A and B are shown apart, each in its own frame.
Chain A
Amino acid sequence: MLAFAIRRLLHTIPILAIVSLIAFGMIKLVPGDPAVVMGGTNATAAEIDQIRRNLGLDQPFHVQLGAFYWNLLQGDLGNSLLLNVPVTSAIIERLPATLWLSAYAMLLTLIFGLATGIIAALRHNTWVDQAATTLALIGVSLPNFWLGLVMIVVFSVHLGWLPTSGFVDPAENVIGFLRTATMPAAALAMLQIGLLARITRSAMLEVLRQDYVRTARAKGLPEWVVVMKHALANAMIPIVTVVGLIFSVLISGSIVIETIFTIPGMGALLGNAILRRDYPMIQGGLLFVAAALMLLNLLADMLYAYFDPRVQVDRDG
Chain B
Amino acid sequence: MSDALLSVRNLTTAFAIESGSTIAVDDVGFDVRAGEAVGLIGESGSGKSVAALSILGLLPTPPARVLSGSAMFEGRDLLKMPAKELRRIRGKRIGMIFQEPMTSLNPVFPIGEQIAESLRLHERLGNEAARKRAIAMLDRVGIPSASRRLDDYPHQLSGGMRQRVMIAIALACDPKLLIADEPTTALDVTVQAQLLDLLNDLRRETGMAMLLITHNMGVIAEFADRVVVMYSGQVAEEAPIETLFDAPRHPYTQGLLGATPTLAQTEARLRTIPGSLPDPAAPPPGCRFAPRCDFADAQCAAGRPTEIVLAAGHRAACRRTDATAAWQTA
Q: Please indicate whether A and B come from the same complex rather than being unrelated chains.
A: yes
What is the interface of chain A, defined by CB distance below 8 A to chain B? 210-212, 214-223, 230, 233-234, 237, 307-310
Q: Is the CB of B107 within 8 A of A217?
A: no
Known A218-B170, A219-B90; 11 more pairs at CB < 8 Å: A212-B104, A217-B90, A218-B91, A218-B98, A219-B121, A220-B92, A220-B122, A221-B87, A230-B109, A308-B107, A308-B108
Q: Are B103 and A309 in contact (CB under 8 A)?
A: no
Query: Could you say which residues of chain A place their CB within 8 Å of the CB of B323?
Result: none
Tell me whether B56 and A218 are in contact (CB under 8 A). Answer: yes
Mark out the residues of chain B between 83 and 110 whose CB falls within 8 Å of any chain A CB in the assembled complex. Answer: 83, 87-92, 95-96, 98, 100, 103-109
Q: Which residue on A lies nearest to B153, using beta carbons?
A: A309
Is B117 on the interface with A (CB-CB < 8 A)?
yes
Is B58 part of the binding interface, using a Cβ–Cβ cutoff of 8 Å? yes
- B: number of interface residues (CB 8 Å): 29
CB distance from A219 to the nearest CB of B (A): 4
CA distance A223 to B83 in the complex (A): 10
Contacts of B88 in A (CB 8 A): 220
> Are B103's CB and A212's CB within 8 A?
yes
Distance in angstroms between the alpha carbons of A214 and B97 in the assembled complex:
10
B87 A234 Cβ-Cβ under 8 A? no
| A219 adjacent to B103 (CB under 8 Å) | no
Known: A215-B98, A309-B155. A220 touches B89 (CB 8 A): yes
In the complex, whether B118 has a CB less than 8 A from a CB of chain A is: yes
Q: Are B58 and A217 in contact (CB under 8 A)?
A: yes
Q: Which residue of B lies closest to A124 (CB)?
A: B62
Which chain A positions have C-beta within 8 A of B107?
212, 234, 308-310
Max count, chain B CB within 10 A of own CB: residue among A217, A233, A308: A217
Complex CA gap A211/B122 in Å reads 22
Give chain B nearest CB distance to A233 CB in angstroms. Answer: 5
Which of A211, A219, A308, A309 contacts B91, CB < 8 Å? A219
- Report yes or no: A214 in contact with B121, Cβ–Cβ below 8 A: no
Contact yes or no, A215 B106, CB < 8 A: yes
User: Which B residues, 201 to 260, have Cβ-Cβ distances below 8 Å to chain A?
Assistant: none
Q: Which of B103, B104, B121, B166 contacts A220 (CB 8 A)?
A: B121
Indicate if the CB atoms of B117 and A219 lie closer than 8 Å: yes
Task: Kindly state the separation between the CA atoms of A220 and B83 in the bound complex, as whole angstroms.
Answer: 10
What are 13 A-B pairs at a CB distance below 8 A? A211-B98, A214-B98, A214-B104, A215-B98, A216-B106, A218-B95, A220-B92, A230-B106, A233-B106, A233-B109, A237-B108, A308-B108, A309-B108
Complex CA distance for A66 and B146, rounded to whole angstroms? 61
Please measure, in the bound complex, the distance between the C-alpha atom of A210 and the C-alpha atom of B166, giving whole angstroms: 15
Provide the residues of chain A in CB contact with B58, threshold 8 Å. 214, 217-218
